[in-house]
Structure 1
Amino acid sequence: MPNATPSTSYAVEARDLHRALPLGGERIEILNGVSFAIAHGEWIALTGPSGSGKSTLLGVLAGIDTVDGGAVCIDGVDITTMSERNLARFRNEKIGIVFQSFNLIPTLTARENVEVPLYVSDRAGSIAQRAKEMLDLVGLSDRMNHRPHQLSGGQQQRVAIARALVTHPTILLADEPTGNLDTKTGTQVLELFAGLRRDLGVTVIVATHDGQVAARADRLLYLVDGRLQQPGNGHVTEPLREPVRMHGGR
């Protein structure tokens, strides 16, 4: 797969990704030859032990982190060769990001937080109207004038999801999106993801330790020590070039 030609038939294509960081006098491999392809509209769970490289991989897919080798292609476009300016514009158009810590601006209302990505977008139309539509989509039309401290954790996460989707991205990346939520609220967020994928055709990639989240996915990417592995009963097998399909996946 490392020599494959990027294809627009894939929403995301990772080819032989390598990322290392210095630690003392050594370099620690965070990603070590990771390759996979994700079709449009798939829901992928990115799992593995703490320190396995999940957050780094998610950052690389988002174009936030860099790689030492390999390529990431989004809709057939290699983002690893882009300038910072072009990458920022491309990311704004194609990729929505949801963080565990919400990352809302405390002095802005829910509507104003959702509006932020639109100020660097070329999309026509009313910014305020678009933000209102997205808040309505996530069930917060009655909270759009509330600031983050006036919202519950689940409501703040839904504002973050609305903000991630307001530019109509084709890919939604989420890092532990239920990590700061109780079980009931986490389930509501997962139902929201499922509805967004069904209604908008969004490709969903979620990094998680939560088995409930992973069980919702169509496929599982399991990372150990920066390599894709096949999950087993207490052990891992040889690295895989393609992700393993989960039993019972939707």
Structure 2
Amino acid sequence: MTIDDLRFHYRADHATILNIPHWQLASGEQVFLHGPSGTGKSTLLNLIAGVLLPSQGRIEILGNNTAQLSSRQRDTLRAKHIGVVFQQFNLIPFLSAVDNIKLAGHFAGNKNTTTRAKALLAALGLAESDQHRATGRLSIGQQQRIAIARALINQPELLIVDEPTSALDKKNADKFMGLLMEQLSEGDTALIFVSHDPRLAKPFDRVESLLDINRAEVAL
């Protein structure tokens, strides 16, 4: 992934939120990106994922300039090649763990994902008896495991993790980090992990502050 001359503002008459001359992430590289709340971290992730488009500049994902893709093409790129672990996990509470994960596979055009979904959940320590329960009836720790498995089901080249431990105590936050890094220990999935909590940066060789790469005078 490469970012060049990126600028973003929500409207032409609004201040620039992001001004990033250059930023790059290699295949398999894992970066911890931190910064205080309100500095544009989530906005940057939405730009990388193609949910938002740059006001200026270029974001290239797997050889694709996202600004040159149609909305449908960006959706396909995101579904097939980008995994996302959301801050609140965003699981569908009345669906089972397996069905939540299979739904992500469906959107990427992968129809036969049941076996892989169960294997991921088993590797993440979710008991088979819980894999078919409604996720809304499971604990936060169990939902963590499902969220990781859902993000990894399509074997994405890029994984985006957005403040997933903000509502967790230290013990559960540490468990989440251990599970995530264990799943990424093999393979070439690149990781952008965004948090305001520097305690979570320990497993990362590359740690950067958004305030250092963002030259905008006014942040979100």
Alignment counterpart, residue 120 of structure 2, candidates 134, 148, 153: 134
Q: Does 1:119 align with 2:106?
A: yes
Residue 5 of structure 2, aligned match among 16, 41, 44 = 16
Q: After superposition, what is the alpha-carbon deviation per residue over 1:117-156, rounded to whole angstroms, capped at 9, x for unaligned?
A: 11122336x2322221221222214221122232111211
TM-score by length of structure 2 reads: 0.90
Matches within 5 A, 1:159-170: 159-170=146-157
Cα contact 1:13–1:72 (8 A) shared by 2: yes
Partner of 2:84: 97
- CA shift, 1:165, in A, is 0.8
* Letter in structure 1 aligned against 2:4: R
Q: For 2:68, which of 81, 106, 119 is the aligned residue? A: 81
Structure 1 Cα separation of the partners of residues 186 and 29 of structure 2: 13
SS at match of 1:159: helix
Over 3 Å counting, the alpha-carbon distance change for 1:197 and 1:34 in structure 2 is: farther
Instruction: Say if 2:34 and 2:198, in contact at 8 Å, map to a contact too.
Output: no
Q: Secondary structure at the match of 2:186?
A: helix
Query: What does residue 47 of structure 2 align with?
Result: 60
Residue 218 of structure 2: aligned partner: none
CA distance in 1, matches of 2:179, 2:188: 13
Would you identify which runs of 4 or more consecutive aligned residues in structure 1 move more than 6 Å? none
- CA deviations on 1:191-243 (whole Å, 9 max, x unpaired) are 1222122123321111101112223222123123xx616xxxxxxxxx6xxxx
Please report how far the alpha carbon of residue 34 of structure 1 lies from its aligned counterpart in structure 2 after TM superposition: 4.2
Higher helix share: 2
Choose the corresponding residue for 1:151, options 127, 133, 138: 138
Distance in 2 (CA, whole Å) between partners of 1:30 and 1:158 is: 33
Secondary structure of the equivalent of 1:27? coil
Q: Which residue of 2 aligns with 1:35?
A: 22
C-alpha separation between the residues in 1 aligned to 2:101 and 2:182? 19
Residues 44-88 of structure 1, C-alpha deviations (whole Å, 9 max, x = no match): 111112211111011111111221011111122222211111111
Q: Amino acid of the residue matched to residue 207 of structure 1? A: V
Amino acid at match of 2:213: L
1:14: Cα distance to partner? 0.9
Q: Give the unaligned 5+ runs of structure 2.
A: 216-220
**Per the alignment, in what secondary structure is the counterpart of residue 167 of structure 1?**
coil
Partner in structure 2 of residue 172 of structure 1: 159
Paired position in structure 1 for 2:176: 189
Q: In structure 2, give the amino acid aligned to 1:145.
A: H
Deviations along 1:87-127, one digit per CA (max 9) or x if unpaired, are 11111111000111010101101111111111122336x23
Cα separation, 1, equivalents of 2:123 and 2:56: 39
Q: Once superposed, what is the RMSD of the aligned Cα atoms? A: 1.8
Contact 1:106/1:148 (<8 A) preserved: yes
What amino acid is aligned across from residue 40 of structure 1 in structure 2?
S
Residues 45, 34 of structure 1: CA spacing in aligned structure 2 closer, same or farther, 3 A cutoff? Answer: farther
**Paired residues, what number?**
214
Higher relative contact order (CA 8 A, sep 6+): 2
- In terms of fraction of residues, the more strand-rich structure is 1
Mapped contact 1:42–1:218 kept (Cα < 8 A): no
Q: Which amino acid is 1:228 matched to?
A: I
Q: Residues of 1 paired with 2:150 and 2:110: CA distance?
A: 15
